[in-house]
């Protein structure tokens, strides 16, 4: 090859490569700017605003901003954190005495009990007590109670081993769960037919008491209207996320206890493959 031509070829190759580099990076920057990536200062500002609102206990406002980011900017760099904070704020609203379109104030009248009020509004005694900071089941005549009246439902995806808590069809929180080995968890729409604290486990004729370390049901049971199946706790939290159960849906202790406090008997449960 002519010695004069060789340097020219190298220069041309270099310019082509450099031009390609500029094109790729320009495309990447354009995507970030349009898609809500970390380079977009407007999205970062929204995120900062939401965190400040949460810190100032402006929970409803914080929820709306977090939801805006999740819906409009799914490729935001901190989107996983935003989703987690949206769940935390949503749960705080449910457990707080904050008035929302999903709440009502009930004035205690003669003959009222917590159980009667919970049944009237299709909620739980646990949630009424937590929303109103009650330390016992005792209520007094004329007392004004903040009541959650939103309708909860459950959606279980066996392929992902996730359980989705919804309120009026709006996703509130997503939990990691375990489902049945060999696809043994039934598919369909069911209801929670019964609830038990510290359940006894009846296993192949054996009776395993709640205090036993071998009781695989854990601290809570929410049984479906199909015998033998339900949502319960676990004694193997490190195996959550696997398809290992005999057909039930398993949850970590803190998760199943949280869910138990929210869901009344009659709650709809949908399970899909």
109: number of Cβ within 10 Å:
10
pLDDT at site 46? 94
Over the range 75-92, which residues count as b (16 or more CB within 10 Å of their CB) and which as e? ebbebeebbebbbbbbbe
Statement: residue 6 has pLDDT above 60? no
CA 56 remoteness from chain centre: 23
Percent of residues, the chain, with pLDDT higher than 90: 82
Residue range 103-148 in CATH 3.40.50.150: no
Q: Residue 15 above 90 pLDDT?
A: no
Tell me what pLDDT residue 203 has: 84
- All CATH 2.40.440.10 domain ranges in the chain, comma separated: 152-272
More confident residue, 157 or 13: 157
Q: What are phi and psi of 98, to 5 degrees?
A: -60, 130
The pLDDT of residue 24 is 43
Contact criterion met (CB below 8 Å) for 46 and 62: no
C-alpha–C-alpha distance, residues 236 and 55, integer Å: 35
Residue range 152-272, CATH number: 2.40.440.10
Q: What is the mean pLDDT of residues 127-135?
A: 97
Has residue 109 got a pLDDT over 90? yes
**For the residues 151-176, what does the mean pLDDT come to?**
97
Q: What does the alpha-carbon distance between residue 215 and residue 202 come to, in Å, rounded to a whole number?
A: 9
Q: Which residues are catalytic?
A: 232, 248
What span, in angstroms and rounded, lies between the C-alpha atoms of 241 and 162? Answer: 8
Give 183-240 pLDDT, tens digit per residue: 999 999 999 999 999 999 988 888 999 999 899 999 999 999 999 999 999 999 999 9
Query: What global pTM score does this model have?
Result: 0.84
Question: What are the pLDDT digits (tens) for 24-79?
Answer: 444 444 444 444 455 578 899 999 999 999 999 999 999 999 999 999 999 999 99
The residue to which tokens 């970062």 are assigned: 44
Is-contact 248 231, C-beta < 8 A? Answer: yes
Query: Which residues of the chain does CATH 3.10.350.10 include?
Result: 103-148
57 to each of 51, 96, 139, 165, how far by Cα in Å? 10, 11, 27, 23
Please provide the average confidence, as pLDDT, over all residues in the chain: 89
Tokens of 190: 């069911």
């Amino acid at each position: 090859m002519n010695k004069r031509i060789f340097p020219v070829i190298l220069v041309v190759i270099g310019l082509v490569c450099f031009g390609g580099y500029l094109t790729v990076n320009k495309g990447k920057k354009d995507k970030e700017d349009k898609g809500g990536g970390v380079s977009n200062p407007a999205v970062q500002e929204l995120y900062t605003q939401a965190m400040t609102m949460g810190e100032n206990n402006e929970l409803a406002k914080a929820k709306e901003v977090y939801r805006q980011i999740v819906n409009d900017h799914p490729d935001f760099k901190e989107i996983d954190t935003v989703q987690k904070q949206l769940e935390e704020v949503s749960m705080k609203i449910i457990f707080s005495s904050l008035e929302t379109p999903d709440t009502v104030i009930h004035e205690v009248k003669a003959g009222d009990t917590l159980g009667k009020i919970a049944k009237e509004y299709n909620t739980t005694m646990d949630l009424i007590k937590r929303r109103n900071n009650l330390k016992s089941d005792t209520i007094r005549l004329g007392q004004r109670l903040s009541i959650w009246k939103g309708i909860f439902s459950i959606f279980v995806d066996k392929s992902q081993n996730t359980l989705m808590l919804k309120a009026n069809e709006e996703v509130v929180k997503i939990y990691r769960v375990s489902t049945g080995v060999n696809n043994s968890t039934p598919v369909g729409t069911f209801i929670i037919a019964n609830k038990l604290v510290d359940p006894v486990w009846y296993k192949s004729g054996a009776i395993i008491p709640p205090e036993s370390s071998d009781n695989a049901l854990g601290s809570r049971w929410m049984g479906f209207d199909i015998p033998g199946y339900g949502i319960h706790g676990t004694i193997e939290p490190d195996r959550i996320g696997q398809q290992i159960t005999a057909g039930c849906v398993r949850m970590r202790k803190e998760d199943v206890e949280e869910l138990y406090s929210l869901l009344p008997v009659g709650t709809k449960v949908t399970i899909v493959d």
